[in-house]
Copies of this chain bind each other. A is one copy, B any other.
Amino acid sequence: MSHYMQNRSMLDFRTDPSTPAGLPQTVDRALRILLAFDRESPEWGVTEISRAFGLHTSTAQRLLAALTHRGFLVRDDSSRRYRIGPAALYLGRVWDQVGALGLLAQPVLDELAAFTGQNILFALPDSAHMRTVLVAEGEHGRLRDYPMVNELYPAHAGATSKAYYAFLPFAQRKRLFIDRPLARFTANTATDLGRLERQFAQVRARGWAYTEGEYDEGVATLAVPVFLREEPYASLSVGWPKERLGEHPSDWVDALCSASERISLRLTHRGR
């Protein structure tokens, strides 16, 4: 297991308490407050915020009101507590619509494609599948050979899916596979839940997934997860036609891992 997965919970833009000199401190405080609304603590009162950030209640109250005025928070009038507001939905849609993910990650994929010479794939989970959202073409792999944007791969077949779903909490993964038979695509597809779970365990132990023709008969794939803070977020993979097996796949593990980490860093607004 490569080293990069240890420090996923480092300091990032959410938790760093310092306001760099010269920047409007009021704005920075407001943004830090906004980022405090997460899954673990989705609701905050004025006093809680003031304590958590060492501010006067008066100040906290005004900052919360300012965030609320633009829809970043909403206030429940009966409980007087604040929650995340519709501007969060709006920003998330803008992120998608302008293809911001691509602007951040594509350069990393392109480097990988140049390094390996093979096609690179970036895929996001989508209802018990992985959906390719970014691709980079390597010199030895014409895109027609293999992946296109917006293709779907089932959760139980192929390294791309395995690298992601292996790191989902067991309860969530289980829910995906009960009541649905595991379709067989090739002779290598695991159609037995026990065997599949053992494969996932191996992927977790190694930190990467390698499959040969589990979904597409002639294709070998090497994949690693991409993390967003503590959670698996996406999957990054190299794919190549099996007959060109020459290169030893483990040669690319390090490159994939370091690319995955760079993307993670960018997605949490650390490293460039």
Residues of A within 8 A of B (CB): 12-14, 19-20, 22-24, 26-28, 30-32, 34-35, 37-39, 42, 62-63, 65-67, 69-72, 74, 83-98, 100-101, 103-104, 126-127, 131, 228, 266-269
Question: Could you say which of B12, B26, B66, B95 contacts A92, with CB atoms under 8 Å apart?
Answer: B95
* Chain B residues whose CB sits within 8 angstroms of the CB of A96 once the complex forms: 92
* A66, B94: Cα distance in complex, Å: 20
Determine which of B92, B100, B269 lies in contact with A91 in the assembled complex, contact meaning CB atoms within 8 Å: B92
- Which secondary structure characterizes the binding site on chain A? helix
Query: Once bound together, how far apart are the Cα atoms of A27 and B267, in whole Å?
Result: 24
Q: A34-B91, A74-B104, A88-B92 given. 16 additional CB < 8 A pairs?
A: A14-B70, A14-B90, A23-B62, A31-B72, A31-B87, A39-B97, A39-B98, A74-B269, A83-B98, A84-B98, A84-B100, A86-B268, A91-B92, A92-B93, A92-B96, A93-B228
* Copies of this chain, count: 2
Contacts of A90 in B (CB 8 A): 14, 35, 228
Instruction: Report chain B residues within 8 Å CB of A35.
Output: 70, 87, 90
In angstroms, Cα B39 to Cα A178, docked, is 40
Would A70 and B104 count as touching, CB distance under 8 A? Answer: no
Q: Which of A14, A20, A28 has the most CB of B within 10 A?
A: A28
Q: Are B86 and A94 in contact (CB under 8 A)?
A: no
A193 to chain B, nearest CB (A): 21
Q: Are B89 and A84 in contact (CB under 8 A)?
A: no
CB within 8 Å for A91 and B86 given contacts A31-B70, A31-B72, A98-B42: no
